Amino acid sequence: MFILSAAFLNAQNPSIYDFTVSTLEGEDFSFSQLKGKKVMIVNTASKCGFTPQYEDLQELWEHYGGDDFIIIGFPSNNFMNQEPGSNEDIKEFCTRNYGVTFPMMSKISVKGDDMHPLYKWLTTKDLNGVEDSNVRWNFQKFLIDENGKLFKVIKPRTSPADPEILNWLNE
């Protein structure tokens, strides 16, 4: 589920705050509640070589998460069917294997004809005002600044504990 306001469609410089998505539990999650926070958005998968990044994401969340920073995971099955499970399966996997407590959203598509509008915003310069990009694989990270603007796209292979990310968080 997603809600996209008419203001977003007509805005010259839309922000992430215009989106509402669904959590793994099916509840609405409005990005407008994130104003003033740095945000890391990451597309995840349970059967990927990068899946152990859940551990680093959880450590990052435990250390930095709260009033100034949030991680939001978006499971997707776009790459070699590496996230085949249901939202319930994903929640159980993340909790049991990695103790994930950062917010996880419902499974979405992050590329192709059925790309979720949030990922369209993240990857389209005309919408995000910063750069065009493609989601290359699972665990690609999008850093959003405190004003809701795309700051940087981080490659999937890059650890969530990379100095570039830690420096951004400590700015």
- The one-character DSSP state at 79 is T
What is the distance in angstroms between the CA of the first residue and the CA of the last residue of the chain?
34
Strands (E), the chain: 3-4, 19-22, 28-30, 38-44, 69-75, 141-144, 150-154
In the block, residue with structure tokens 């650890």: 159
Task: Give the CB-side neighbour count of residue 78, counting CA atoms within 13 A.
Answer: 23
Catalytic residues: 48
